[in-house]
Amino acid sequence: MDTDTVASLENVKSKIAGNSDRGHKNAYIFTLSEIYKTYKAECFTATISLCGKVVEIYLYELLENSAIKEQLYYIDKKNNKWPRNDLTLVKLKILAQQLPANAIGLLPSDKVIDVIIQYRNSAIHFSKDNYNPSKEIADGVIKFLVDMLNKYYSL
């Protein structure tokens, strides 16, 4: 187990825990704890899949704090507002591209999102290509995730 990766996860989790005014703090902390457990158990597909969940939370939060936040909800026939449950990582990424220029700099790179999607999909759906991520790939995704969250929580 890479002690730098573990330490960076713990550091960003502490930073988020200490920042009580962010909306999805508990979801971040819970998921980062799960990432730690799966990484420690060398379940790298699960680690990368959970990293994808954190990216979803992150994109959702960016969108929720923007002028296009209404696209995160749908209105039923009785005019009740409900969160959309069809917002996959891909759909959130597309919505996030509509954010103002100052928020676009906070968006994760398409390449990293594509890596997450590749491993996530192979964990859930059958494929002739068997994608088994290495520890190095999991380390890279975690480092990207930690960097993304550190930048966001330093604002």
Give the model confidence (pLDDT) of 72-98 as tens digits.
988 899 999 888 888 889 899 889 888
Residues in the chain: 155
| Amino acid 116: pLDDT | 92
pLDDT in tens, 118-127: 888 888 777 7
Site of tokens 């959309």: 84
- Domain containing 108 equals 3-153
155 pLDDT above the threshold of 70:
no
Please spell the DSSP secondary structure of 50-101, one letter per residue.
HHHHHHHHHHHHHHHTSTTGGGGEEE-TT--EEE-S---HHHHHHHHTTS-H
Q: How many domains does the chain have?
A: 1
pLDDT value at 20 more than 80: no
> What average pLDDT does this structure show over 93-109?
81
Among the residue ranges 26-40, 48-62, 73-87, 135-149, the one predicted with the least confidence is: 73-87
Of residues 42, 72, 54, 52, the one with CA closest to residue 152: 54
